[in-house]
Structure 1
Amino acid sequence: MIGFAIVCCGPGPRSRKRSVTAIRALKILRSNSASAAVSFVASAPAEDSGSALDFLVRNAPDIDSAETLFGAHSNPSAVSYTTLMQSYIRSGDVNGAEEVWKRMLAGSVQPDIVTYNVMMSAYAKKSDFIAVERKFEELQENGLSPDVVTYNTLMRSVRDVDIGRVWKYFDNMVERGVLPSDITFSTIIDAVGKDGDLSPLPELPSMMRAYNVHPNIFIYTAVMSIYSRAGDTRNVRHWFNSMSEFGIRPNVVAYGILLDCLCKAGASEEAEGYFEQMGKDGIQLNEKILTVMMRIRSDQGDVNGVKELFGLLENPRLFRYNVLIHALGMNGNIPEATELLETMKANGVTPDVVTFNTMMKMRAATGDLEGVKAFYEAISKNGLVADGFSRSILMDALGDAGELEQAMAVELLPSDVVPRTIKLRIASDHGDVTSVKRTFGEAPSSYTADSMFLVRAYARKGDWQMASKVYNSEPVTRSRLTSYLRLLGESGNVSHITRAMESARKSDIGVTEEMVAALIDAYGVDGQLDSARETLTSMEELFGIVPTIISYTALMGVQRTRKGRHDVLELLFSNGLDAVETIFRVMWSAAIEEGDLDDAAAVIELMREHRLLPHVSLYNKLIVAFGNKRDLVNVEAMVAKMKKAGMRPSVVTYNALMDAFGKTLRSPVAGERLLNDMHSSGVAPDAVTFNTLAAIYARCADPDGVNDVVARMEQQNILPDKFTYSNIITANRRAGRADQAQEASEQARAMGILL
């Protein structure tokens, strides 16, 4: 933005009113040749020829034409030479411009301030500040006075490397009585941004007022960009809102910077407010704005909102498809995401590794290991190369499924530091000491093995003697001690943690909040809940540490009753802290683990009261849990609350509903109604949907109903799996059709489906 302003307002020959001769000559130049244009100008009145030739040189298509036109001058002036220099500079030939300078001096024509400014600007663009300063000294030696363009060029030449010189030139300019312009302050802003010390920025508006410079939209967007890069949302917002003081209306660039910053800060509600204000201000949406808002809505699980914005894009590019696929995945709409993948291919948009990684991640979220594997294989089938993130998702999915051997067999590249860490984490979580050691051995020399993974593996294996031996084999650091205390906390070893913290307090390591959190965890595991709470409330007194959300989350995690959890939340609020999503998720998980579904539902409502948007998965898991308890009243209540929160039921939601109604009512009527609702709502059923409906028919001993479901399943290009055949067999057996059941069993085995 700043660079654009400098180019537009940069040094150049004095503007002259274009004569009729010049305009006609330009048409000849463009349609014929430089020689023809020269002939035409030669026939024009003498008073027009000089300015017309300068105008033609400025618009010449190449250097040869420019030289031909310049050569037609009978007595070239400083303006004429300067114009020719600019032609060389535009073509990237600064040395050629210097040769014109020498010709100018040889012709006894003295350069003026504009000539100097042109050459200084050329050197500034090449970041040759030594040449810029040399010209600056030369113009003063020749009795010329530098103007604001001269100083702006000087400042621009060093803004990337030396902000001290920028301020020195500014002070020198002011001392000489040369008033700064908006370009001066744009250059200063750019220099401050590159320097990294942003403390001068708040003073700039008052400085500009002092020199009677009216800030423009470019000034404000430049400052906002700097604060945005620094992640300073507060100042981005402040500068955006303060534009009105100077009567400046925000443009699409300003809105784009603000919305992008709010997106990164997770301030989705505020971003939506500004997005709405854009419409009121009549600001035309562009692709960047739409993309940022898609990301915001995607992160909030607002898939319909993402779709709405996606529909405004004329020719969506790959990144936009990826954002929508991500939103669909977050909302559990895996079939629709898969369909979108095919749509983008049909529209000539080739998926990249990010696309397939997103598909893998959403499959992993539902525990669909086979789906994760299929999309991992699809990466190479589409001529792409899996990246570290691909391997990380695959290994995590294998680890979650208990497929430790397969997870350890995933081949890594030397650069795969993150996937290697994940492999070590999975192995250490399972107490697989051998795999941890083997992975260390496979690591490239550039990778620093963290022995704490080996300590963790021994600890999870229950071999604390070896865990302690490996831990003590290396110097104790703060991070190693913290990791070790976490392991001790998981085992409830209060005495060992207490001794270790006492040693840390007496050493240079010191006690951190993470260490105290490990002690709280240990008290909880050991059943000493009063001691856990007392540790938190006396942290500041005992350790000089003010408790933050870290300690409260630890205390929340060890509570075993609804009252205990809500007491921790009240304690957090009474100490002036704001609850974050993490602590609510801990509350929710604990309630689910205990089977206290009413409390889990209450936690979701608490999240909404505190302006936190619960993920759709929380609602879906509760619907499943209530369904398993045959509690249809709460099943329907959760769906209603989900819709009230602005979330659209996903295929996972419908599957959970269908399963709940099927198990409770033992009638396929509700399941068929839900399937119709899915079609009318645009939610595509998946294999789980049809298998759930088929299971209802199977429980009702209705093999014809099951066969009908399988037929509809195949119409949707969804292949029957082992669950489908299990339903076919069960339905036939219950209906007394032993032959048909046997036939289905043999067919399944023939297809390689093991039942």
Structure 2
Amino acid sequence: MVLFHRMLTVGPSANQVTYNTVVKGYCNLGNLNNALRVVDLMKEHGCKPDEWTYSELICGFCKGGKLELASKTFEEMVLHGLNPNEVTYTAIIDGYCKDGKIDIALSLLEKMDRSGCKPNVQTYNAIINGLSKQNQLAEAQRLSREMVHEKLFPNIVTYTALIDGLCKNGATSLALKIMEEMKERGCSPNLHTYSALLCGLCQEGNIEEAEKMFASLGEKGLVPDHVTYTSMIDGYAMIGRVDLALEFFRQMIGSGCKPNYQTYGVLVKCLLMEHQIMDQKLAALPNSVSSFSYSEKVINNELVSNLLAKLEEFGVELTIDVYRMIASGLCREGRWFEAYQLVSSMIDQKLSPDGEIYNSLLQVLASNLEVDLASEIFDKMTAQGFELHLTGYKALICALCKVGRTSKAQSIFRNMLAQLWNPDEIAWTILIDGLMRGGHQDLYMTFLHIMETNDCKPKVNFCCLFNFLTCISGDGVNCCQVGAKHMKSSCVILIRMFPFCHSRSL
């Protein structure tokens, strides 16, 4: 990069290959802003971006989760008469699939074919994986057959995506047949394939077959990972064998396989079941206390201490990383009270919760409208210099608005604006996805005014904004009037849209 800047100042002049190489370098580093600056420099120096330039940008945007920018760049590329290649198409198709917008991905696949650019194995894999995750398994299977017809043979990624989708939809028997088919085609299943099948077998309660498959992994030279172990632990829990689930967790620790937040989430579920079993036994005794009151007492007061005791018994060192994963597991299980207790336990043990733990806890508290505890966590984060994620601000502000504490919500919103967030991100995340989607249209204007008085003016794409607001409110005219009044820089777009808005709202 130093050499590139020297070329710009003292020469020789950079050519298209040089610019493209630098763009690719910045995209690979995830530094998309610098990549765009290089493209601007390229244009200023009379060097037109070519297919490679646009492809690198689109791939970079998709990898960085900037799908809207990728889409705009793709449109600009076509507008300039440049033809996207299979790498470009595959990148943006994969981006839309991962974003759950499978219909757009399928339309791009058709467009790709019409343009004479043939999909490759990676393109089909992206679509099949997206379809499987959206439970559109018939279409996924049809495309896998289409691949074969096009002389593109499914690989391990294709088969595993199909198997995973089938298993998650209760069709494990069909998934097992597909595994046999892949073996016949000379494609050996890997650990991800077996993990998907194990999860499916366990979800269906077929623990015996799951045990046999797990036992065979060693013979195939495969070492179980946290996904494999977690599936088995969850499977035992589902059939009520908490003892075997805990024993399998012990085996997991003994093998040197580190649990992740999902494993701890399942372990929490096991301990809850253990408490319930204990409660049922006590309830059967003469003169026992009521089942409900005992369960609540045990779950609320003993779950965290029991969990930590079990981990120490199994030889797990209670580091900050372990606490973080337990907190994440508790939050994902919706156990906000226990997550709050866990943080208190950490502080008692002279361990300071980090930003990730605080963020997870605050969001689960806010989603359960525990606004006092959420506000307490927010104050602790602020005092300790931790930054709340934008999604955390959304959760807290919306929760406060929902319980009628709008003054507090506005105060926190002003605090957030001081953190120098991108105005567009604030507008989309807090105002639109948070307040508008949450039914707080009346507060939308108030918060927008706060942004403007703090010199934080968004420049959102009003075509997208209009469609979103119209879907929510059914009043396209009012939406445009709101935008025109408060974001004057976008008036030209709004005026051009107004006739369409009027007809839409009639």
Provide the residue aligned with 1:187 in structure 2: none
Read off the aligned partner of 1:425 and give its amino acid letter.
N
The alpha carbon displacement at 1:494 in A equals 0.6
Provide the residue aligned with 1:495 in structure 2: 208
Q: What is the rounded CA distance, in whole Å, between the counterparts of 1:750 and 1:654 in structure 2?
A: 32
Provide the residue aligned with 1:638 in structure 2: 377
The alpha carbon displacement at 1:456 in A equals 3.8
Provide the residue aligned with 2:132 in structure 1: 428
Which of 674, 682, 696 pairs up with 2:420?
682
Provide the residue aligned with 2:224 in structure 1: 513
Query: Are the equivalent residues in 1 in contact too, given 2:435–2:443 (CA < 8 A)?
Result: no
Alpha-carbon displacement from aligned partner over 1:448-492 (angstroms, at most 9, x marks no partner): 534444444443443344333333443686745554323313433
Read off the aligned partner of 1:509 and give its amino acid letter.
K
Equivalent residue pairs, number: 406
Alignment CA distance shift 1:584-1:358 (3 Å): farther
In the alignment, structure 1 residue 442 sits paired with structure 2 residue 442: no
Q: What is the rounded CA distance, in whole Å, between the counterparts of 2:312 and 2:77 in structure 1?
A: 48
Give the secondary-structure state (helix, strand or coil) at the position aligned to 2:398: helix
Provide the residue aligned with 2:459 in structure 1: 717
Q: What is the rounded CA distance, in whole Å, between the counterparts of 1:695 and 1:619 in structure 2?
A: 26
Which of 530, 535, 541 pairs up with 2:243?
530
Which of 330, 341, 344 pairs up with 1:591?
330
Structure with bigger gyration radius: 1
Unmatched runs of 5 consecutive residues or more in structure 2:
4-21, 44-48, 273-298, 479-496
Which of 177, 181, 190 pairs up with 1:469?
177
Read off the aligned partner of 2:141 and give its amino acid letter.
V
Give the secondary-structure state (helix, strand or coil) at the position aligned to 1:466: helix
Task: Map residues 192-591 of structure 1 onto 2, 5 A cutoff.
Answer: 356-357=58-59, 359-360=61-62, 363=65, 373-374=71-72, 377=75, 388=87, 391=90, 394-395=93-94, 397-401=96-100, 403-411=101-109, 417-418=121-122, 420-429=124-133, 430=135, 432-442=137-147, 445=151, 447-450=153-156, 451-473=159-181, 474=183, 479=191, 481-501=194-214, 508-509=219-220, 512-514=223-225, 517-537=230-250, 546-549=255-258, 554=263, 556-560=265-269, 561=272, 571-577=310-316, 587-591=326-330
| TM-score, with structure 2 as normaliser | 0.58
Q: What is the rounded CA distance, in whole Å, between the counterparts of 1:593 and 1:318 in structure 2?
A: 39
| TM-score, with structure 1 as normaliser | 0.42
Read off the aligned partner of 2:375 and give its amino acid letter.
E
Read off the aligned partner of 2:371 and give its amino acid letter.
L
Query: Are the equivalent residues in 2 in contact too, given 1:628–1:660 (CA < 8 A)?
Result: yes
Read off the aligned partner of 1:497 and give its amino acid letter.
A
Alignment CA distance shift 1:672-1:521 (3 Å): closer
Q: What is the rounded CA distance, in whole Å, between the counterparts of 2:433 and 2:231 in structure 1?
A: 43
Alignment CA distance shift 1:691-1:665 (3 Å): same
Query: Are the equivalent residues in 2 in contact too, given 1:486–1:518 (CA < 8 A)?
Result: yes
Alignment CA distance shift 1:457-1:721 (3 Å): same
The alpha carbon displacement at 1:582 in A equals 8.4
The alpha carbon displacement at 1:664 in A equals 3.0
Q: What is the rounded CA distance, in whole Å, between the counterparts of 1:323 and 1:504 in structure 2?
A: 36
Query: Are the equivalent residues in 2 in contact too, given 1:588–1:600 (CA < 8 A)?
Result: yes
Which of 493, 501, 504 pairs up with 1:750?
501
Q: What is the rounded CA distance, in whole Å, between the counterparts of 2:236 and 2:91 in structure 1?
A: 34
The alpha carbon displacement at 1:533 in A equals 0.9
Unmatched runs of 5 consecutive residues or more in structure 1:
1-285, 289-316, 327-336, 733-745
Give the secondary-structure state (helix, strand or coil) at the position aligned to 1:496: helix
Q: What is the rounded CA distance, in whole Å, between the counterparts of 1:354 and 1:584 in structure 2?
A: 40
Alpha-carbon displacement from aligned partner over 1:297-325 (angstroms, at most 9, x marks no partner): xxxxxxxxxxxxxxxxxxxx758976997
Alignment CA distance shift 1:681-1:556 (3 Å): closer
Alignment CA distance shift 1:446-1:391 (3 Å): closer
The alpha carbon displacement at 1:372 in A equals 6.3
Query: Are the equivalent residues in 2 in contact too, given 1:642–1:648 (CA < 8 A)?
Result: yes
Give the secondary-structure state (helix, strand or coil) at the position aligned to 1:549: coil
**RMSD, aligned CA:** 5.6
Read off the aligned partner of 1:721 and give its amino acid letter.
F
Read off the aligned partner of 2:397 and give its amino acid letter.
M
